[in-house]
Structure 1
């Protein structure tokens, strides 16, 4: 098995892309169940990003956390 190394920036970009994809699917979904599933998936991607990047204590990471939190409408993400 090969080992891939990712930077915090690369992880953030990949997660942001996935969040936007899932929110787009939610916006175009015909059923409420599908909408909620896609939104939950997007929020789960955000939580996974938080767990993976927790040790990246930079201003950029905090800015990314606010931006991604706002995308998934995380409570109190405006004031983070």
Structure 2
């Protein structure tokens, strides 16, 4: 199983996850190919998409897909 990259804050000796998106990682900013990848994953790989969402990796992965697609076509 992969490492979870979720930041935590400690209150009263208990770690609570910070489940907010950074401003630069908004879903609308993933680009054309990132959005296409998101649609494809939602329709064809639902389990994997849910896992990436739970782990907080879906936006980061969509950004990476978009960047790689532009690198291939440039």
Q: Above 0.5 in TM-score?
A: no
Output the TM-score relative to the length of structure 2: 0.30
Larger RCO: 1 or 2 (CA < 8 Å, sep 6+): 2
